[in-house]
Amino acid sequence: MAPLPNAELVQNSVQLYRYLLRCCKQLPGENIRQHYRHAVRQSFKVHADEDDPERIQQIIKRAIEDADWVMNK
């Protein structure tokens, strides 16, 4: 399963959140979709207070890489 196009356009946390939830919609099986939606929401809450722009970009890059891995799994 290929990742969604335009991952390179994700520049901020809201765009990342929407991108990851769209990726979840493509996963097979409702239980799997629910699991990853929950994980995305929890990660978003954990990193909500992050204010270092460099760290935010690192988080975005890693989240997209992880989403690609999950989609290809």
Residues 10-15: contacts with CB under 8 Å, at least 24 apart: 10/60, 10/64, 11/60, 12/56, 12/60, 13/44, 13/47, 13/48, 13/56, 13/59, 13/60
Encode burial over 18-57: b for 16+ CB neighbours within 10 A, e otherwise: ebbeebbeebeeeeebeebbeebeebbeeeeeeeeeeebe
pLDDT at 7 over 90: no
pTM over 0.75: yes
pLDDT digits (tens, 9 = 90+) for 18-33: 999 999 999 999 999 9
pLDDT digits (tens, 9 = 90+) for 29-52: 999 999 999 999 999 999 989 999
